[in-house]
Amino acid sequence: MREILIQQKCVKALNGDARMPAHLTPVEKTEMNDKAISVIILYLGDKVLREVARETIVVSMWTKLELLYLTKSLAHRQFLKQQLYSFRMVESKSIMENLAEFNKIINDLVNIEVNLKDEDKALLLLCVLLRSFENFKDTMLYGK
């Protein structure tokens, strides 16, 4: 999300009015705040949007989102690790949908500063492949 705010040239609004560049007028600061809120709202799902819909200042909206979804507590960290290690691909979903779900779990872990080596991620991914990929898995693991 921060990257989208950077692209839209309104990421400085996350610092609050006091820390925005001094050359900006109060009107420009308000416009930047409103633009940042609009960008965030456009990218939120309905469930998440309900949590922050009443916020009118981007700093408070961002803080609330971080508190809700980037908690770094031990329980949250363990929950995400459990999701990763118990993840299984579903045959009724396409390989792309399964990979998207796997990558979402990895990204959630990275967001709370749990970093996995690329080698470990690759091995985990090979282990969760469907049976139809058994030959591919053996080739990648054992070179046969």
Domain termination site, one of 38, 69, 100: 69
Same-domain status, 95 and 65: no
Same-domain status, 61 and 9: yes
Same-domain status, 42 and 56: yes
Mean pLDDT of the chain: 90
Same-domain status, 48 and 94: no
More confident residue, 144 or 65: 65
Domain termination site, one of 43, 69, 95: 69
Asked if 101 and 84 count as a contact pair (C-beta separation under 8 A), the reply is no
pLDDT above 70 for 144: no
- pLDDT tens-digit profile of 10-49? 999 998 888 888 899 999 999 999 999 999 999 888 888 9
DSSP sequence for 59-81? HHHHHHHHHHH----HHHHHHHH
Instruction: Specify the pLDDT at position 111.
Output: 82
Domain termination site, one of 15, 48, 69: 69
pLDDT above 70 for 97: yes
Same-domain status, 65 and 79: no
Instruction: Residue 105: give the domain boundaries.
Output: 74-142
* Separation of alpha carbons 7 and 23, rounded Å: 20
Taking phi over 0 as left and psi of -120 to 50 as alpha, with beta for the rest, 88 belongs to beta
Residue 72 — pLDDT band, cuts 50, 70, 90? low
Instruction: Specify the pLDDT at position 67.
Output: 84
Same-domain status, 37 and 96: no
Same-domain status, 6 and 61: yes
Percentage above 90 pLDDT, the chain: 52
Same-domain status, 78 and 49: no
* Separation of alpha carbons 41 and 69, rounded Å: 15
Question: HSE (CB half, 13 Å, CA atoms) of 87?
Answer: 25
Domains of the chain: total:
2
Asked if 50 and 44 count as a contact pair (C-beta separation under 8 A), the reply is no
More confident residue, 107 or 1: 107
- What's the average model confidence in pLDDT over 81-104? 94
Same-domain status, 99 and 53: no
